[in-house]
Chains A and B, each alone.
Chain A
Amino acid sequence: MNYDAIVIGAGMSGLAAGIRLAMFDKKVLILEKHSIPGGLNSYYQRKNFDKGGIRQFDVGLHVLTNFIKKGEKGKPFSKLLKQLRLSYDDFKLCPQTHSKILFPDVELKFSNEFELLLNEVSEKFPQEIDNFLKLTEKVKTFNELDLSIGYSSSREALKEIIKDELLIEMILCPLLIYGSAWEDDMDFAQFVIMFKSLYFEGFSRPEGGVRTILSLLMKKINDLGADIRFKTAVTKILIKDSGEAFGVVANGEEFYAPVILSSIGYPETVRLTPKIDLNPRIGAMTFLESIFVFDKKIPLDQNDSTIIFYNDSKKYSYRPATDYFDSSSAVVCFPDNYETNKQDGEGTVRITYMANYSQWRDLERAQYDEMKEKVGQSSLSLIRSLSQGFDGKLLFKDIFSPMTIERYTWHLNGTVYGSIDKTRDGKTPFKNLFIIGTDQGFLGIVGAMLSGISMANLHGLMGANEI
């Protein structure tokens, strides 16, 4: 079968790319291995332990970053709306209350108003406020969308501006765990993207979670008449002797197109091509997540944070756990704590720990379940210590590991933020084969969609316009 473009993977980036191409009458084929869309941000259901019935969960979606108010212009989220021709109201965004970075003896709150973080820094690090302002200036004037810039260390850049090491650790903590493929550091362009999307813009959550976003995207795909096939794994990318990609093999069938956009990761994509001397490294950062549902909401100390970025020492370690999991830091997410969700009812908490892929891989089934139990216990005691004697009854729990991530998204080693070898212009050594999403360097829900959009524009629409 012949198409104008083939998209591999129906995660956020693949769906967005498919929409852009189909919008301008390209005949598009989207191939997805799983039975549903979403990829790293999909959904699943579980049976209740006792009373029967099922519960629906999102895989990820603590937050949608890059919050804007209705009508705000020139921001990543407003660009995304325009490019996909979606309306702000369709996302039903509930803004966060506020979030906090919690280290021993000191915490920094931030919200969708940047002033809060500024005030917090000037109160808790008065000697650093001028430097912090200098940093925000640098972030504001930096062009993170320049696709030609190479890697530079954020820690080095921060050290040049900020003297207090604790403040550096605290600023980095949420940015690293929400989007760094690199251990203990991140590319400065990525730092700028994350700083803007978390601290300048902030968090919200669509009512209905990730399904709300996915059904908007799927409706567009179907309305535009793009061909999307689930349970259809691409097993080979077809390359001519001249090095030009011209099609794929999936479910034993061949499909041809002059443009192929792959969202499955750079190392994962290279493995589907004939052997070449190119080995993008597999990122090491993978996580464990525990989800608990209680019969009532968890009362927190001051005013119900949406997310707590917790760390138990002055130094933040962002690297694979040396053991199965690392409980010295965590992301604690309260998906109920949003401005528009003040009613009583069940309370949900999600706890994310850094993990170690090879340790989990080597576990036998019985030990695997036992280890998950340990993760659950550790997470529960963290909830209890943060909520000072919360006595809610646990109704449900579910824990997913790096193995779960690998099994359902096929990211090698359960890596979440992809390879540390990004290809920022999307190009690969093969003509007509491009990388979109995480390994093009833009991640998270908003980032991945923008990557799909901009790569489809650059390599699918503008390229085609030259003919």
Chain B
Amino acid sequence: MADVRQIVIDIIADIAPDEDVSNLDDVKSLREQLDLDSMDFLDIVMELRKRHKVEVPQEDYPKLATLASCVSYLSPKFATV
């Protein structure tokens, strides 16, 4: 099983190197905890595709709002790659 939570955190750490990602709350929105804007969410999606061949269509971007929602939305996609 892929550790989807860690995969997302690793991506965030790369696209926003100045952010502290060590103490993220899983149920709070990522935007509230970090300085992320829509451009950064695009980068999360692009990195998921580049590194893990996982596709996230534009209408599903809101499903990446929290770490917990990332895990529940992305896990089935990781299971099939």
Residues from chain B with a CB closer than 8 A to the CB of A74 are 35, 37
The tally of CB-CB contacts under 8 A between chains A and B is: 38
A216–chain B nearest beta-carbon distance, Å: 16
**Residue A457, interface by CB 8 Å:** yes
Residues from chain A with a CB closer than 8 A to the CB of B58 are 462, 465-466
Q: Are B15 and A466 in contact (CB under 8 A)?
A: no
Q: Are A83 and B39 in contact (CB under 8 A)?
A: yes
**Residue A25, interface by CB 8 Å:** yes
Q: Are B39 and A79 in contact (CB under 8 A)?
A: yes
**Residue B16, interface by CB 8 Å:** yes
Q: Are A82 and B42 in contact (CB under 8 A)?
A: no
Given contacts A24-B46, A71-B18, A82-B15, contact A465 B39 (CB under 8 A): no
B59–chain A nearest beta-carbon distance, Å: 10
**Residue B10, interface by CB 8 Å:** no
Q: Are A73 and B39 in contact (CB under 8 A)?
A: no
Q: Are B55 and A465 in contact (CB under 8 A)?
A: yes
A83 to B15, CA, bound (A): 8
A454 to B18, CA, bound (A): 21
Given contacts A457-B39, A465-B55, A466-B57, contact A24 B18 (CB under 8 A): no
Q: State how many residues of chain A have any CB contact under 8 Å with chain B.
A: 19
Residue of A nearest to B56 (CB): A465
A457 to B37, CA, bound (A): 13
**Residue B68, interface by CB 8 Å:** no
Residue of B nearest to A88 (CB): B18
**Residue A399, interface by CB 8 Å:** no
Q: Are B35 and A73 in contact (CB under 8 A)?
A: yes
B42–chain A nearest beta-carbon distance, Å: 6
Q: Are A457 and B57 in contact (CB under 8 A)?
A: no
A453 to B43, CA, bound (A): 12
Binding site for A on B (CB under 8 A): 15-18, 35, 37, 39-40, 42-43, 45-46, 49-50, 55, 57-58
